[in-house]
Structures are given as structure tokens and as C-alpha cells.
Amino acid sequence: MIQGKILVTGGCGYIGGHTIVDLINNGFEVISIDDLSRGSLLMLAGVEKILGQSIKNYKVDLSNLEDTQAIFIENPDIVGIVHFAAYKSVGESVLEPLMYYRNNINSLVNILQCAKDYQVPHVVFSSSCSVYGNAQSLPVNEQTPLAVAESPYAYTKQIGEVICRDFAKQNEGYNICLLRYFNPVGAHPTAIIGELQEKPENLVPVITQTAIGKRLDMTVFGSDYDTRDGSCVRDYIHVMDIANAHTKALQYMIKGTNKEACEVFNLGSGDGVTVLELIKAFEKVSGKTLSYKIGPRRNGDVVAVYADNTKACKLLGWKIQYSLDQMMDTAWRWEQNLKMDEISHLN
């Protein structure tokens, strides 16, 4: 039974593409907006291959309000929006702060303007654990005070949450779920879709590209932190678990079970894993020995962050399905598939 039409912004991106698979597998109809500045039609093609159906993508820049409004006029039956479209690299945001503020804030404001103008009552906002900064106590829960954002990227998520809260407060009947992702990794179990970045900065694609020989080696950014082995601690969570949480959040609001107009949820596994431990987990699963060197710390990095995820599990009925080994296994199989594709295109 169709549960209604959902607009996914950034649907040609990593988390957007995986979420479209989960939404459709759970009975929703989906359309995508993606200007393809970071997303790729290869992602959409993979999603269509997995689902065996086509997905419409509107190649529109959300910073252009008129173009965005035209999509809502053409689709008056949209019941919910999942807003992923944003730049998301911690390192890049330190180098290009204005590009991050312009893109990430303008696109959110325009999407909320359209939700109001075209009466779309349910919105899911892609937030991030980076809003916690260097939290004083761990694990972080949704009441943990937000420390100073360590990067412009994290600031755009902190500001984004405030904008969503003010919108929900001023507009009766509109519900918003703020989903704070920890570190999404891995790929769909078919390995037909995964993280698509030519020159990734995120740890897991850097590991898999090093293992497959796309990179000569990699650097561990700092081994002198106050952690159990000196490297940073993160909470890695499989991208399909993240995807399913979006489906659960929409169902939570559509059923009218949400407790407040704007609610925040941590989407993490609850396990803190260091960089060096993740490398070891990858080596165990892949059978590869990784060539890496220890380098200086990276600007913008927090020392450690991992989630208390009980609120999402309790209120959304979210159940984590994938282990750390499965995260490494699917990421590695995806990287190997990419290599096969490249070779087949050469022949």
C-alpha cells in the first residue's frame, strides 16, 4: 500500500540514494532533487537497478527558490520531505566556509519555505553528530549541551537545527525530525551502490581506495590524542541503518505519534571505535594489510564522539541491523565492484 510521495533532496548522494531504496522497500513513492554538484546519476542508476524501477530526479539547485517551487507545483501530492542536500566534508568546510554557509543554509531555508507554501507537513532534516563538538561527557545523548562547533560544516548543522526549531514553533501542524548522524559507512549489501567520491576525505573510502591500490598509502591524522590508542574515536553506523531511520522517522510523524513538533534523534551504533581499531577491523574482514603512516592532527577534528541511541530505538522503533564487520565487508565489496566497472569500461 503506497504510504505517500516523499521528496528526497540530495537523492543522488550517498545517504540519499540508500534512503530511497529503504523508503520504496517500505511502501513510499519517491522523487529526488539533486543538482549533481556532489551527487551522481550513477548512484540513481544503481538505486533503479536494485529496485527494478525508475526514479525521477529534478536537476535543480535548491538555492534557486523559483526552480524549487516549480517542483512542488508539479507534485502537489508530496506528503513529506527528507532534506539531505548539503556539502558535508569537515576538512573542505574549513577551507571554504562561505561556500558551506551559502549552500547549506540557503537550501534549507528554501525547502522549509516550500514546505509551508505547499502544505507539506513532515520534514526530516539531515543533521550530524558534529553539532556536539568536543562534548564534555560521552556517550552524547540528545540533551547533551552543544559545544562550540569545530568546523563551518558543523556550524551549518547547528544553525540548521535552530532554523528547523523556529520554523516548527511558528507553523502549527508542521513536524520536523532532526537526525544526527554519526559516521555513516558501508554500502548496500548488493554492493551495487555505495559511497561515490573521486578523492574522498572520509576515513572508510580512503581505507578501501588504499587497499585496492587507487592510493599509494594513507595517513592516520594524529596518534597523540587522549584516547585508548591515541587516535580519534568515532561512532560508525551502516548507511542502510541510517537509511531505515529516515523511513521510521517519516512513519513516526505521519502516524501522528511524534511527541513534539520538532524532535532530535541520535543515529549512531553507540560504540566508539578508534581510527586504528577500524583499520584493524578492515584488515581482518578484507584479508588485506593496509599501508598507512601516522601524521599530524587534522584541523576541525573532534577527539572523540559516540552516541547514546536509546531515544531513536525507543521512539522510532529503530533497530540496528549491521555490525562493524558488515560495514567493512560491504564497503570493501563496493570498492572492488567499482574497480571491476572501471576495468570493464576500459575493455
Catalytic residue among 132, 153, 181, 322: 153
The C-alpha cell at 327 is 560495514
CA distance 246 to 316: 9
Type of residue at 218: M
Tell me the closest approach of the beta carbon of residue 70 to ligand WQD, in angstroms.
Answer: 29
Give the nearer residue to ligand WQD in terms of CB position, either 31 or 273. 273
- For ligand WQD, which residue of 25, 219, 299, 310 counts as binding (CB under 6 A)? 219
115-148 in b/e burial notation, b at 16+ Cβ within 10 A? beebebbbbbbbbbbbbbbebeebbbbbebeebe
Task: Map residues 88-127 to x or -, x wherever contact with ligand WQD holds by CB under 6 A.
Answer: xxx-------------------------------------
Nearest-Å Rg of the Cα atoms of the chain is: 19
- Of 336, 277, 272, 346, whose CA–CA distance to 309 is shortest? 272
By CB under 6 A, which span of 41-49, 65-73, 212-220, 326-334 interacts with ligand WQD?
A: 212-220
Tell me the closest approach of the beta carbon of residue 127 to ligand WQD, in angstroms.
Answer: 7
Residues 6 or more apart in contact with residue 98 via CB below 8 angstroms? none
Asked if residue 234 binds ligand WQD (CB under 6 A), the reply is: yes
153 labelled catalytic:
yes
The answer to whether residues 43 and 193 touch, using CB atoms and an 8 Å cutoff, is yes
Tell me the closest approach of the beta carbon of residue 24 to ligand WQD, in angstroms.
Answer: 23
| Residues of span 290-309 touching ligand WQD by CB under 6 A | 298, 301
CA distance 160 to 96: 18
Give the nearer residue to ligand WQD in terms of CB position, either 49 or 228. 228
Tell me which DSSP letter residue 52 carries.
T
Task: Map residues 176-205 to x or -, x wherever contact with ligand WQD holds by CB under 6 A.
Answer: -----x-x-----------------xxx--
Tell me the closest approach of the beta carbon of residue 232 to ligand WQD, in angstroms.
Answer: 3
* Inter-CA distances, 15 with 22, 86, 126, 199, 270, Å: 11, 11, 10, 18, 19
The C-alpha cell at 165 is 526549531
| Residues of span 237-276 touching ligand WQD by CB under 6 A | 275
Tell me the closest approach of the beta carbon of residue 90 to ligand WQD, in angstroms.
Answer: 4
Give the nearer residue to ligand WQD in terms of CB position, either 24 or 307. 307
- Cα–chain-centroid distance for residue 178? 12
Question: Active-site positions?
Answer: 153
Query: Which residues of this protein are in contact with ligand WQD, per CB under 6 A?
Result: 88-90, 128-130, 181, 183, 201-203, 206, 218-221, 232, 234, 275, 298, 301
